[in-house]
Structure 1
Amino acid sequence: MHNGSSFFSQIPPVTKNLIIINLIVWLAMFVLPGRLGTGLENFGGLHYFLASDFNPAQLITYMFMHSTQSFAHIFFNMFSLWMFGMTLERTLGSARFLFYYVSCGVGAALVQELVWALTWEDTMVGLLAKYNAIDFPEAREYIRHLMSTPDGKTAIAQNLNMFVTIGASGAVYGILLAFGMLYPNAPLYMFFIPVPIKAKWMVIGMGAVEILIGLSEAAGKADGIAHFAHLGGMIFGFLIILYWKKKGTFHGSY
């Protein structure tokens, strides 16, 4: 009992509460009957801002929801939050760490919204052409005609509800970025590499991988993961840490 209490007491409060909240929401989504569980995701998951189910609160709520189809989604996010969040919270302080975490999550959401803005029409044109056996120019003309009428805009808004993303990955990637910037030479071990890698190289590698996969997604090879949102979390995190460093927020050498 003493060891268990000691373990949890060593986790800083914001990191601990973020993990608890994410687990509670995931369990609620998992145990609720189908329609209620789906409804929770539809309400809190991030939608494209032109979709009928979008509401601004989703820019925050989406990052506390995870897929119930696989435990790996929430496990790796919460494991990373625990592993790197503890150190960052002690470095930044609880209030600043919470601000950073939420800001990276919101930043990731904004980048995802931008990606949808640039790609939703092509996606819908492709689906319309495929399921109605028409060519792409005809499908695109039909979509644009719908967007020119009130009823058509309503129909499009309903169909745009297919674009939904959930998960803390954007915020977690921001945390990984911050760790790499503040502790660039810290040795990290990856599951499939037997030698340590400096944090700065791991972060650069992860960013490069997300760019490459994101570009392949844009070319039509989607894997269902919001890779550009991950990059968004890293970009916003980089800007925040850079600003804090220039302002002299950090004291000592990290």
Structure 2
Amino acid sequence: MGRLTESIKHLIIINIILFVAPQFFKGIDLQTLFALHFPESPEFGIWQYVTHMFMHGSFSHILFNMYGLWAFGTPLEQMWGRNKFLFFYFSAGIGAGAIYTLVNYFQFNGIYEQLISQGLNAGDIQSLLDTGTYNTSLISLSNETLSEFYNLYHTPAVGASGAIYGVLVAYGLSFPNSKLALMFLPVPISAKYFIPVMILADLFFGVTRYSIGNIAHFAHIGGALIGFIIAWYWKQNQFKRWN
């Protein structure tokens, strides 16, 4: 970690502005406009794969993400330079959003096909999604499954966490023996062990859905995957420099 580099400084400033702005301009619904919505939702826009990275749901959310951006992104920007770091950051964030969408789409379509098999038509299903109500005599799926179906359609994703996970993986590849520590486990652990454990935890919570809070685990995994691919490729070609 070191001084605040230019790209990271500007990214943090933009994130803070978009977090604070809705508190002063009540008539502007930035969350609806910039959060990443489900592709079938009328509120979805292709630009949201970029803009969702600058929106956050709470003070703790933006605090931890911006701390991670500074702590792990600073040495990467110092090593790579501005252009290369920004390309990496946005690639990881957009990739995180794309993989998150693909996983959600797969889960949504699985439940959609179950509803079709029970005799509902497209109009019935859209009514369920619009109103959240349904005829219990027509559907044998559990309330938990139907609630998941409804939430997949209506719950947007926000936050830079996917991009930060990409940064974290790149940091681990570049500085594998650097010591890191969790707040609830203040014992320093090498990045090469610490980071895989974090990603495996996200994979576990994403697959089992035993999540603590409303966390987009597959966005984290997506950002980590894209970040690993790019950082690993660059490491193999580390003597090629971007201007």
| TM-score, normalised relative to structure 1 | 0.78
189-198 or 177-186, larger mean C-alpha shift: 189-198
1:113 is displaced (CA, Å) by: 0.8
In structure 1, the residue matched to 2:119 is: 141
How do 1:168-207 residues align onto structure 2 when only pairs under 5 Å count?
A: 168-207=160-199
1:55 is displaced (CA, Å) by: 1.1
Q: Secondary structure at the match of 2:119?
A: helix
1:244 is displaced (CA, Å) by: 1.2
1:193 is displaced (CA, Å) by: 2.5
Deviations 1:38-77 (A, max 9, x none): x21111110122221111100100000001xx31100000
Distance 1:140 1:18, change over 3 A: farther
Conserved? CA contact 1:109–1:232, under 8 Å: yes
In structure 2, the residue matched to 1:48 is: 38
Distance 1:51 1:156, change over 3 A: farther
Bigger relative contact order, structure 1 or 2, given CA contacts below 8 A and separation 6+?
2
Instruction: Looking at secondary structure, tell me which structure has more helix per residue.
Output: 1
How do 1:104-123 residues align onto structure 2 when only pairs under 5 Å count?
A: 104-121=92-109
Match status 1:29 vs 2:7? no
In structure 1, the residue matched to 2:216 is: 226
Count matched residues.
220
1:202 is displaced (CA, Å) by: 1.0
Deviations 1:76-130 (A, max 9, x none): 00011111111110011110000000000000000111011111245679xxxxx
Q: Secondary structure at the match of 1:119?
A: helix
Conserved? CA contact 1:52–1:157, under 8 Å: no
Find 2:155's aligned residue among 155, 159, 163. Answer: 163
Match status 1:242 vs 2:235? no
Conserved? CA contact 2:115–2:125, under 8 Å: no
Give the share of equivalent positions with the same residue, in percent.
36
How do 1:76-95 residues align onto structure 2 when only pairs under 5 Å count?
A: 76-95=64-83
CA RMSD, 1 decimal: 2.7
Find 1:63's aligned residue among 53, 69, 74. Answer: 53
| TM-score, normalised relative to structure 2 | 0.81
Q: List runs of 5+ in structure 1 lacking aligned partners.
A: 1-7, 126-135
Alpha-carbon distance in 1 for matches of 2:212, 2:40: 21
Conserved? CA contact 1:42–1:53, under 8 Å: yes
